[in-house]
Structure 1
Amino acid sequence: DSLLLQLTGGDSLLRDTLLLDSLRRDSLALAPADTARTEKKRNWFMSDSMSLSRVCWMSIPIPGYGQIYNKQYWKLPILYGTFGTSLALYFHENKKFKPLKRRFEEITSQEMSRTEELDAVQSEMIRHNTRRQIYLFAAIGSYIYFIGDAAVNYATNDVSSVKKATTLATICPAAGQIYNKSYWKVPIVLGGFASMIYIIDWNTRGYQRFKKAYRLRYDYDQKVAAHNQWKEDVKNDPDLPEPENPASSTDEFKGRYSADFLKNLKNNYRRNRDLSIIATAGLYILQIVDAHVDAHLKDFDVSDDLSMRIEPAVDYAFIAGTGVRPVVGFNFSINF
């Protein structure tokens, strides 16, 4: 202020004018930096040139993000309608399924013989379980479909068909094969996944079954051992309290199998389940590699000027001691 007063000769009005002009220049100098920071924050969430990978990754936690980015807003009601309805119906059926399952486990933990109550509870439980699985698959299917739809309709940057095929195969098995128009591979991929899921479910149910049987049989053996020991000890101490008397039947197999046998079955089912999970992961990676390589091969020149042929061939050769004998093999030819 004192310097401004000296420069302006004591004129306060001129001093204030110079001061405001200086502040205005400072604000203009800082404005571009603030604008750049704001633009950077905006670009991180919704940029005009986001990569395909980022659009797909953002669509996972934010359903419909890809459709908003691609400006296909009319698809949002379909997405949230199918996904939300399927999810609501799943929770509705799951709410009915859980008490039936608890009741089924209560009955089977006491007696495995077929009764009218057990049949009725099991039938109702299976019905609600089937419905909830259908609704869950519908919710997951719609969720995955719209992530793939965002990748297919992405057109901001120049993205090769190889990257799109690989991205789609990563999002959903067989989607990359469909994008490459290798339709004959789709039943193989989906059939392989369906088979592996069935095998995993089969071994999981077997593991849970024999795990429960082993636990019941082990508890039964412990009670029998304690009761037999009490019979020996009561001779020396007549006032010794009697332990819990073991039940007449232990598990669904009525005691026909030993605890060690049931334990081995339990471990076998668990090992098969774990191996099936590893095989499913391998199949998932394999179909991604197949989609990637197949998309690359689509661009190769496979005309008559550049081709490879493998065909069966029959020839005759003279063999000492046996004469002329036919020889069967293959002809391998390359044209370039």
Structure 2
Amino acid sequence: MKNQILTILLILPILAFSQVENDSVQTTEPITEIVAVNETEKLDTIDYLTMKNPIRASLYSAILPGMGQIYNKKWWKAPLVWGILGTGAGFIIYYNNQYKEYRGYYLDKLYGYELENPTLNNMSVEQLANIQDDRKRTRDYAIALTALGYILNIVDATVDAHLYGIKKDPDLSFQPIMLQNLQTAELAMGFGVSYKF
């Protein structure tokens, strides 16, 4: 049965590409009308000379976070990525040390040893276990949020590389504008969204 399925899967593509269409009515007259494609519209929207490779940007960001943003010439995003991931790593290290410290206090209290800190020595085993669990939970949240920041770094580099060569559409814009109150003549800052059909 497996051999028959394998044979069908191998022969099917050969049969599909072996079909040749022959036109029984051939004309000798040259084709005089050519449909012109408006190439200027394509060239106005996409700049093919400056296209960036999304796979390369993804790999750069996966290997060294922030490098994909530098590859896409969005240098200002790289320090943001480094700050987010560095802060996350700092929280992970801090809460992991706290967890280990309170884990040691918990085990010492559980086995009946006296603790050096009188405040911790007055706590029960259950209270130390709750503090230990809280530090562990916070560390795990920090790990999850840092991993999310790492994944968003890769996604941002990929999307920027996809959209790198596309020029901005003037019919769709989001820009800051100055608004004036008609009654008091005061100016205020705002955002304007423009969409033209």
Identify whether the pair has TM-score above 0.5, normalized to the shorter chain: yes
Query: Which residue of the other structure, out of 190, 197, 208, is the alignment partner of 2:82?
Result: 190
Residue correspondence of structure 1 range 108-147 to structure 2 within 5 A:
none
* Superposition TM-score, scaled by structure 2 size: 0.63
Query: Which residue of the other structure, out of 192, 198, 204, is the alignment partner of 2:96?
Result: 204
Larger Rg: 1
Point out the structure with the larger helix share: 1
Unaligned runs of 5+ in 2: 1-50
Distance in structure 1 (CA, Å) of the matches to 2:56 and 2:106? 50
Q: Which residue of 1 aligns with 2:53?
A: 161
Q: Which has the higher contact order (CA 8 A, sep 6+)?
A: 2
CA shift in 2, pair 1:332/1:204, >3 Å? same
Supply the AA of the counterpart residue of 1:218. L
Supply the AA of the counterpart residue of 1:311. P
Matched, 1:330 2:191: yes
Supply the AA of the counterpart residue of 1:256. N
Contact 2:105–2:128 at 8 Å: present in 1 too? yes
CA shift in 2, pair 1:316/1:193, >3 Å? closer
Supply the AA of the counterpart residue of 1:293. V
* Superposition TM-score, scaled by structure 1 size: 0.39
Query: What is the Cα deviation at residue 165 of structure 1?
Result: 0.5
Q: Which residue of 2 aligns with 1:258?
A: 124
Supply the AA of the counterpart residue of 1:253. N
Q: Which residue of 2 aligns with 1:218?
A: 110
Contact 2:52–2:164 at 8 Å: present in 1 too? no
Supply the AA of the counterpart residue of 2:123. Y
Contact 1:174–1:186 at 8 Å: present in 2 too? yes
- Which runs of 4 or more aligned residues in structure 1 lie more than 6 Å from their structure 2 counterparts after TM superposition? none
Query: Which residue of the other structure, out of 161, 172, 181, is the alignment partner of 1:295?
Result: 161
Matched, 1:311 2:176: yes
Query: Which residue of the other structure, out of 137, 155, 172, is the alignment partner of 1:271?
Result: 137
Q: Deviations over 1:243-300 (max 9, x none)?
A: xxxxxx6123242322222111101100001111111110011000110111122111
Q: Which residue of 2 aligns with 1:280?
A: 146
The percent identity for this pair of structures is 30
Supply the AA of the counterpart residue of 2:151. I
Unaligned runs of 5+ in 1: 1-158, 221-248, 318-323
Residue correspondence of structure 1 range 209-248 to structure 2 within 5 A:
209-220=101-112
Contact 2:106–2:128 at 8 Å: present in 1 too? yes
What is the root-mean-square deviation of aligned Cα atoms in Å? 2.6
Q: Secondary structure of the equivalent of 2:141?
A: helix
Supply the AA of the counterpart residue of 2:177. P
CA shift in 2, pair 1:258/1:311, >3 Å? same
Distance in structure 1 (CA, Å) of the matches to 2:77 and 2:181? 39
Distance in structure 1 (CA, Å) of the matches to 2:52 and 2:74? 17
Q: Which residue of 2 aligns with 1:173?
A: 65
CA shift in 2, pair 1:210/1:316, >3 Å? closer
Q: Secondary structure of the equivalent of 1:183?
A: coil
